[in-house]
Structure 1
Amino acid sequence: MWQKAINSSISISLEDNEGNDDQEQAGVEDNERDNGNNNNDDNDDNDVGEDEDNSGDSAAAEKKGDAPEPGAGMEQDKQVSGGNFPNEKHGWGLKRNDEHQQPEMPSWLNSMLERHDSYWVGSPEDKVIYLTFDEGYENGYTPSILDSLKANDVKAAFFVTGHYLDSQPDLVRRMVDEGHIVGNHSDTHPSFPEVSDSEIKKELQVVEEKYKNITGQTGMKYLRPPRGEFSERTLAVTRGMGYYNIFWSMAAVDWVPMKGGAQEAYEAVINNTHNGAILLMHAVSKDNAEAMDRILKEIKNQGYTFATLDDLKR
């Protein structure tokens, strides 16, 4: 069951929100890596939270290559619209704490998320963790991560881009075969508030079609907004398509190598666990892959259980 955000004010300026996820977008990898945590500097007037936990949905993580013609071979377009909802852009980011408490969230944002069935954390009463990964391109570490998940009997959600589906069909099939959820992370990883309703629909439908061609499955229902950027309009459009927007309550700057390597990756997670956490990680990280088995075992040792987004959803 989804936990409603806490009614408290918190600074709405952010420096390394998931906008780093921008690096995941086709054709901008090198640029975005240089920008590191600052991909949302031009929108910081409405960024959510403060700093470290904005997930760098690593811009570098989503990748390269020319996008296919949007909408090619797709099923009939779903009739949805953002209507008159505001299109003010926000970047997701939360300030971490080492007290194992859920982050605070402004009441205005909590209300917006609830209106559109969006999620960022589970119940504060349940010692449960929801594990998610963003997959923009393959850096050679997803097989190891999948091995660790299987060895520890943990199911996760993997949010994939169009490029990832094009380049890694075997890994996507393995995710499905081993019981993981595959979610939509858009085709070319644009900032949704910066594109039209119809472009958003095409971005998601291209991924749906590619996923269907690879796995034979339909009915994708979980979305991680590219770059962690959203507006009330984009929440409305995507919910109208049947998607639940999935944000996160803990993350780390893991789309680039960590100075402390696998030990730092381990501590970044273990020091910030909390009830109902939706944990965002990037599978492009060697450090994450090397620490994964230890992370999963220690989370269980702390008395947590792992659940899936299907368990979280109302």
Structure 2
Amino acid sequence: MAHAYDTTEYHWSFKPEKDNKPVTTEPHYLELLNKYGGFFIGDTSKKELYLTFDNGYENGYTEKVLDVLKEKEVPATFFITGHYLQTEQELVKRMVEEGHIVGNHSYHHPSLPNVDDERLKRELNKLKKEFTELTGVKDMNYLRPPRGTFSEKSLALSQELGYTNVFWSMAYKDWETDKQKGADYAYNQIMKRIHPGSIMLLHSVSSDNAGALGRVIDDCRKQGYEFKSLDELMMKKVMDNGISN
């Protein structure tokens, strides 16, 4: 008998804090993430940052982002859609070759709580299959829910498919390509929002982000922050659970 999961749709949100303090989210969201193995923030006692990018389509800036990450030796996670995978195969291959994680952002970017079980599975499986065919990489372990929407059911089903749902604890309105305000603006927005354990959501369609990224990385490091990969965070969680169990 299939489990009757709650299908209520939620829109991811967190409560911003001043003075670079770690953020919190709704208690119910925390409960669901804990139950289904998702997360939105790292260890808030450590000055560690996790760079993640959502890539739905290419706007000419991902190459620059990758150049900066390579120069600064910073790992990142890129969550890609089917459209991105189809149209930007060289960039996807470069992400893998340069040691970045590529995560699932679904094939067609629907709100996962609003599709039936079979469609949800198709959305994730099709992307993973084509990614493996392109790159030879068999693992795709992380899911960034399209549109930031989720339900108990979408968390449970994606977990069954082997995914860890990754939300975020730092973002700003950077994706409106016709409302870019310059690299200094992006730099200031990011620097005032970083906090210990930040999972940073940026969009590489933003010329501002591409322009600010090098300075952000340098100045975060000056403040004592280290950039880590989601795999390192997952390993830490597994070890902590092993110790606490």
- Name the TM-score class by shorter chain: over 0.9
Question: Partner of 2:91 in structure 1?
Answer: 171
**Aligned-partner SS, 2:79:** strand
- Any gaps of 5 or more consecutive residues in structure 1? 1-80
In 2, Cα distance between equivalents of 1:270 and 1:288: 12
Cα distance in 2 for partners of 1:110, 1:94 equals 10
Report the Cα offset of residue 140 of structure 1.
Answer: 0.3
Q: Quote the offset at 1:299 in angstroms.
A: 0.9
Equivalent residue for 2:4? Answer: 84
User: Which of these residues, 252, 267, 272, is aligned with residue 193 of structure 2?
Assistant: 272
Q: Secondary structure at the match of 2:193?
A: coil
| Match of residue 207 from structure 2 | 286
Q: Distance in 1 between matches of 2:122 and 2:186?
A: 35
User: How many residue pairs end up in the alignment?
Assistant: 234
Q: Deviations over 1:214-242 (max 9, x none)?
A: 10111201000000000000000000000
* Counterpart-to-counterpart distance in 2, 1:242 and 1:94: 25
RMSD (CA atoms)? 1.3
Relative to the length of structure 2, the TM-score reads: 0.93
Q: Give 1:156's match in structure 2, choosing from 58, 67, 76.
A: 76
Output one character per residue of 1:222-263: Cα deviation in whole Å (capped at 9) or x when no partner.
000000000000000000000000000000100014553111
Counterpart in the other structure of 2:59: 139
Partner residue of 2:226 out of 281, 301, 305:
305
Between the aligned partners of 1:106 and 1:260, the Cα distance in structure 2 is 31
In structure 1, how many angstroms separate the alpha carbons of the residues matched to 2:169 and 2:2? 26
State the SS of the aligned residue for 1:271.
helix
Q: Is the 8 A contact 2:75 2:100 kept in 1?
A: yes
Distance in 2, matches of 1:244 and 1:205, equals 14
Partner of 1:132: helix, strand, or coil? strand
> Cα gap change, 1:139/1:259 in structure 2, threshold over 3 Å: closer, same or farther?
closer
Cα drift, residue 210 of structure 1: 1.1
Q: Partner of 1:215 in structure 2?
A: 135
Displacement of 1:309 after TM fit?
0.5
Question: What is the one-letter code of the residue matched to 1:151?
Answer: E
The 1:259–1:161 alpha-carbon spacing in structure 2 relative to 1, beyond 3 Å, is: closer
Q: Give CA-to-partner distance per residue, 1:158-209, whole Å, 9 cap, x none.
A: 0000000000000000000000000000000001111011110000011011
Corresponding position: 1:233 with 2:153? yes
CA distance in 2, matches of 1:283, 1:303: 25
**What is residue 111 of structure 2 aligned with on the other side?**
191
Give the Å deviation of 1:213. 1.4
Aligned counterpart for 2:101 among listed residues 176, 181, 197: 181
1:192–1:226 contact (8 Å) kept in structure 2:
yes
Structure with greater helix percent: 2
More contact order relative to length (CA 8 Å, sep ≥ 6): 2
Equivalent AA in structure 2 for residue 185 of structure 1: H
The answer (yes or no) to whether the contact 1:130–1:279 under 8 Å persists in 2 is yes
Residue aligning to 1:243: 163
> Distance in 2 between the 1:231 and 1:138 partners?
29
In 2, distance between residues paired with 1:263 and 1:102? 23
**Hey, what does 1:4 align to over in structure 2?**
none
Which amino acid in the other structure matches residue 273 of structure 1? I
Contact 1:82 1:233 in 2 (8 A): no
Once residues 308 and 172 of structure 1 are traced to their aligned partners in structure 2, the CA distance between those partners, rounded to angstroms, is: 17
The answer on 1:106 being equivalent to 2:26 is yes
CA distance in 1, matches of 2:32, 2:68: 36
State the alpha-carbon separation in 2 of the partners of residues 169 and 82 from structure 1: 38
Identity %: 43
Contact 1:120 1:246 in 2 (8 A): yes
Match of 2:240 in 1: none
Letter in 1 for 2:217: L
Show structure 2 runs of 5+ residues with no match: 238-245
Q: Give TM-score, length-normalised by structure 1.
A: 0.73
